[in-house]
């Protein structure tokens, strides 16, 4: 039975922690030796989870690692369980702000700096037990956002089902990038947003191919309702993460899948 070595000694009671670029849990206190040791453990966790995520998605390189988080302004929430005084990682949620060009429901192009869900994964043996909802709600409360204010990077069908089930989100506004927005995104102003000037708007739209524009125009006239999510469920690979260490069974990379349930 594998587990995250020594993590319980540092975090005996915590079930969710937030990690930023220093690779330490938020509000963690300790001497320099403890901080360096824990940072090394967190780095190894992120590396192993990133490798597993890449294999699960068929990627040549991992998108998540300790070094990548250290050199970014992103944050990772880790969900954990205790078992026989050992610590196991149950889920991961990666968040970060991005400057995006986004279409609203009328086909107008906007530049928005918005908070994005970059990865969301609950281990397959822990799904449909409420872990995803607890982790997602923790993030929403911590960032003081509501679900429809977030842009989702390459969500799987399972993730879209999760958002529909728990938050009632189902009307997708088609985008020409990998992000998914819901209709309510433009209903209320988001903090730190700005629109593109008209002339820049025109220039940016001209960069898109004619086929892509026709696809957007066609899809933007439709209302996407669960369980039909159009092209977003058709071709996107699950954004799974992690070598998640489970107290009950040994795991293989090929069985990993993204879900927040």
- Per the annotation, does 83 bind a ligand? no
Cα–Cα distance for residue pair 224/218, rounded to 1 Å: 12
Strand segments, DSSP code E, in the chain are: 16-19, 75-83, 86-103, 109-122, 151-153, 172-173, 179-182, 193-194
- Per the annotation, does 131 bind a ligand? yes
- Write down the residue that tokens 């204010």 correspond to: 149
Residues 182 and 230: beta-carbon distance below 8 Å:
no
Coil/strand/helix, residue 25: strand
- Per the annotation, does 120 bind a ligand? yes
Dihedral Cα 183, 169, 69, 243, nearest 10 deg: -150
Cα–Cα distance for residue pair 169/184, rounded to 1 Å: 8
- Per the annotation, does 113 bind a ligand? no
Cα–Cα distance for residue pair 242/79, rounded to 1 Å: 12
Token duo for residue 168: 């009632």
- Per the annotation, does 101 bind a ligand? no
- Per the annotation, does 126 bind a ligand? yes
- Write down the residue that tokens 């869900």 correspond to: 117
- Write down the residue that tokens 């911590």 correspond to: 142
- Per the annotation, does 70 bind a ligand? no
- Per the annotation, does 124 bind a ligand? yes
Residues 78 and 23: beta-carbon distance below 8 Å:
no
- Per the annotation, does 192 bind a ligand? no
Q: What distance lies between CA 89 and its chain's CA centroid?
A: 16
- Per the annotation, does 129 bind a ligand? yes
- Per the annotation, does 242 bind a ligand? no
- Per the annotation, does 103 bind a ligand? no
Dihedral Cα 119, 124, 128, 131, nearest 10 deg: -50
Annotated binding residues for acetyl-CoA: 120-133
Annotated binding residues: 120-133
């Amino acid at each position: 039975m594998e587990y995250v070595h020594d993590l319980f000694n540092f975090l005996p009671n915590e079930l969710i922690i937030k990690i930023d670029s220093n690779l330490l849990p938020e509000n963690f206190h300790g001497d320099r030796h403890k901080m360096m040791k824990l940072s090394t453990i967190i780095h190894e966790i992120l590396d192993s989870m990133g490798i597993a995520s890449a294999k699960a998605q068929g990627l040549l390189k991992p998108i998540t690692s300790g070094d990548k988080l250290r050199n970014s302004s992103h944050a990772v929430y880790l969900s954990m369980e205790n078992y026989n005084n050992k610590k196991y990682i149950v889920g991961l949620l990666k968040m970060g702000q991005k400057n995006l060009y986004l279409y609203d429901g009328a086909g107008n192009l906007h530049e928005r700096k918005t908070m994005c869900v970059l990865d969301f994964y609950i281990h397959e043996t822990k799904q449909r037990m409420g872990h995803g909802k607890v982790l997602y709600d923790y993030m929403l409360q911590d960032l003081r956002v509501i679900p429809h204010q977030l842009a989702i990077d390459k969500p799987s069908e399972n993730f879209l089902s999760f958002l529909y089930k728990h938050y009632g989100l189902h009307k997708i506004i088609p985008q020409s990038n990998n992000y998914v927005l819901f209709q309510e995104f433009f209903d209320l102003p988001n903090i730190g947003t700005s629109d593109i000037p008209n002339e820049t708007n025109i220039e940016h739209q001209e960069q898109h191919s004619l086929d892509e524009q026709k696809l957007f125009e066609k899809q933007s006239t439709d209302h996407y309702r669960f369980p039909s999510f159009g092209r977003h469920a058709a071709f996107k690979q699950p954004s799974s993460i992690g070598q998640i260490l489970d107290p009950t069974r040994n795991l293989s990379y090929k069985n990993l899948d993204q879900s927040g349930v």
